[in-house]
């Protein structure tokens, strides 16, 4: 288990560096957004991007979830090449069939979302982006499960580099606004799909289609699709309800703050999840799997809590130098709230192990009940508190969602997670975030208090949360790092 944990840590570092490079390129666009894109147009772009995330999770009918679940099992019985071909062709076919009607209804969709048909071209571009986003999922899963993090991040980085170049040309030189941003994203996705088909898919497939294999994947993944509908409603109802109950400027400020908080999610939380998921499936037959799953959640909670605290304390002064339109800065008030929400959401990767291994249908109940709660909270909080109310609704709903998933997962697979230690860690984190947001002194005092917050948090966790064995393990790990790098 120690070797497995070290491997996850190493892969997380690689994925994190790759995602950091990707996010760094994204930060280059901040002056472009704030100089060439109005806050209202940024709100329109946020609705488009939310639509992409929503439909990408649905149109494959759960095939990609089945491919993920049975990857190692099909490798063991040497039937993976035909399994891959069946899943990949099925993904392309179902996505094409389901997305086609939306192309013909582009004007109607524009009218529904924005009360005008003027955005129909953007709807068409968004639908094309959705198709290629779905097509690219399985190749990335293969690289993830074959333990090829460098290839994974290199291809992801190349895609973003292409998108960035095309976006800068179209937005700055040709003044295409958000249409240029969408064209840039589509260009990166199309070239990546071409490359991955040649280097990842064609090298591994056997040209033998099996309906039974496709049926197995859909049978596993389809309940996840139903749960995804509820979870996506929960995730994205804030943007759509802000669009209806507030203004496009509210959507823009909220989306900007959300993008900044997403920095921690992309670089650290998702990187750890990508590294951990193959190990979760690979260790399902191990006799010590419950201990492994429990320790991984504790490790995640401690590490990400410190990272969230450090990020929220340090990011703002640097970011404000990049923002040209200071109205965008108003959205930064939600960054601590959304960051905490991302941290808690990431716990689902570890607490839902029983559901993913035993019964995916249990996800449906938790996701829809949380979605309903989030809609109700948004309905009451947005009119009173604006986009800040949407942020609080998201955090509260996420806490309930993770609690439900943990409860249901333990019904089918009992795992004793260290909840007392995790809750204490989150309480210390919350106190640190509140103190940081209340600072309103001169620069020297502010940064002195920020450093003290980090020190007190670290010492408190070390003395009150970690056991003696865990402290010894951390000490040994730090000694090895010191020996390697110093």
As given in the structure block, the two tokens for residue 125 are 């571009």
pTM > 0.85: no
In the three-class reduction of DSSP (H, G, I as helix; E, B as strand; rest coil), residue 60 is classed as coil
Sequence-distant (≥ 6) Cβ neighbours of residue 203 within 8 angstroms: none
Structural domain contains residue 214:
yes
Structural domain contains residue 201:
yes
The C-alpha atoms of residue 1 and residue 155 are separated, in whole angstroms, by 30
Structural domain contains residue 252:
yes
Structural domain contains residue 359:
yes
The C-alpha atoms of residue 248 and residue 114 are separated, in whole angstroms, by 10
The C-alpha atoms of residue 273 and residue 282 are separated, in whole angstroms, by 14
pLDDT for position 394:
93
DSSP 267: I
Structural domain contains residue 144:
yes
Structural domain contains residue 474:
no
The C-alpha atoms of residue 341 and residue 312 are separated, in whole angstroms, by 13
Structural domain contains residue 141:
yes
The C-alpha atoms of residue 266 and residue 268 are separated, in whole angstroms, by 6
Question: Is 309:386 a contact under the CB 8 Å cutoff?
Answer: no
Structural domain containing residue 54:
2-438
Question: Is 231:370 a contact under the CB 8 Å cutoff?
Answer: yes
Q: For the chain, how many structural domains are there in total?
A: 1
pLDDT for position 274:
76
486 residues of the chain, pLDDT tens digit each:
555 555 565 665 566 566 565 555 566 677 777 788 887 887 888 888 878 878 888 888 899 999 998 998 899 899 999 999 999 999 999 999 999 999 999 999 999 888 899 999 999 999 999 999 999 999 999 998 898 888 988 898 899 889 989 999 999 989 998 999 999 999 999 999 999 999 999 999 999 999 999 999 999 888 888 777 787 788 778 888 888 888 778 888 888 899 889 888 877 888 787 778 777 877 777 777 788 888 889 989 998 999 999 999 998 877 777 776 777 888 899 999 999 999 999 999 899 888 888 888 888 888 889 999 999 999 999 999 999 999 999 999 999 999 999 999 998 888 999 999 999 999 999 999 999 999 888 888 988 999 999 999 999 998 888 888 777 766 666 565 455 444
In the three-class reduction of DSSP (H, G, I as helix; E, B as strand; rest coil), residue 65 is classed as helix
Structural domain contains residue 195:
yes
The C-alpha atoms of residue 71 and residue 260 are separated, in whole angstroms, by 34
């Amino acid at each position: 288990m120690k070797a497995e944990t070290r491997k996850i840590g190493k892969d997380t570092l690689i994925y994190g560096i790759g995602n950091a490079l990707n996010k760094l390129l994204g930060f280059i666009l901040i002056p472009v957004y704030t100089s060439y894109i109005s806050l209202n147009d940024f709100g329109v772009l946020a609705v488009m991007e939310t639509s992409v995330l929503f439909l990408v999770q649905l149109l494959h009918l759960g095939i990609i979830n089945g491919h993920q679940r049975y990857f190692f099992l099909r490798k063991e019985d040497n039937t993976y090449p035909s399994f891959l071909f069946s899943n990949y062709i099925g993904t392309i076919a179902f996505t094409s069939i389901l997305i086609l009607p939306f192309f013909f209804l582009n004007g109607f969709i524009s009218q529904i979302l924005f009360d005008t048909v003027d955005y129909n071209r953007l709807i068409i571009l968004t639908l094309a982006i959705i198709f290629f986003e779905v097509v690219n999922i399985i190749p990335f899963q293969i690289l993830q499960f074959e333990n090829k993090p460098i290839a994974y991040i290199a291809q992801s980085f190349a895609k973003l580099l292409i998108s960035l170049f095309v976006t800068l040309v179209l937005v700055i030189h040709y003044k295409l606004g958000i249409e240029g941003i969408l064209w840039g994203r589509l260009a990166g996705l199309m070239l990546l799909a071409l490359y991955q088909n040649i280097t990842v898919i064609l090298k591994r497939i056997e040209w033998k289609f099996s309906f039974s294999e496709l049926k197995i994947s859909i049978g596993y993944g389809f309940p996840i699709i139903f749960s995804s509908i509820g979870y996506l409603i929960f995730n994205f109802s804030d943007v759509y309800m802000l669009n209806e109950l507030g203004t496009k400027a509210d959507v823009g400020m909220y989306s900007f703050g959300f993008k900044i908080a997403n920095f921690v999610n992309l670089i650290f939380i998702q990187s750890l999840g990508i590294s951990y998921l193959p190990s979760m499936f690979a260790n399902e037959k191990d006799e010590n799997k419950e201990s492994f799953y429990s320790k991984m959640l504790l490790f995640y909670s401690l590490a990400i809590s410190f990272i969230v605290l450090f990020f929220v304390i340090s990011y703002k002064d640097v970011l404000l130098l990049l923002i040209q339109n200071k109205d965008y800065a108003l959205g930064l008030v939600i960054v601590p709230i959304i960051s905490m929400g991302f941290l808690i959401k990431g716990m689902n990767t570890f607490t839902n192990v029983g559901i993913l291994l035993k019964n995916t249908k249990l996800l449906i109940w938790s996701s829809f009940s949380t979605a309903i709660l989030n809609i109700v909270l948004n309905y009451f909080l947005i009119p009173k508190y604006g986009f800040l109310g949407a942020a609080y609704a998201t955090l509260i709903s996420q806490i309930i969602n993770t609690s439900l998933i943990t409860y249901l997962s333990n019904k089918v697979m009992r795992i004793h997670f260290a909840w007392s230690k995790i809750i204490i860690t989150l309480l210390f984190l919350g106190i640190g975030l509140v103190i940081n947001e209340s600072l309103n002194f001169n620069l020297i005092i502010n940064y002195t208090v920020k450093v003290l917050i980090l020190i007190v948090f670290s010492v408190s966790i070390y003395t009150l949360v970690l056991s003696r064995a865990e402290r010894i393990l951390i000490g040994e790990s730090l000694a090895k790092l010191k020996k390697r790098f110093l």
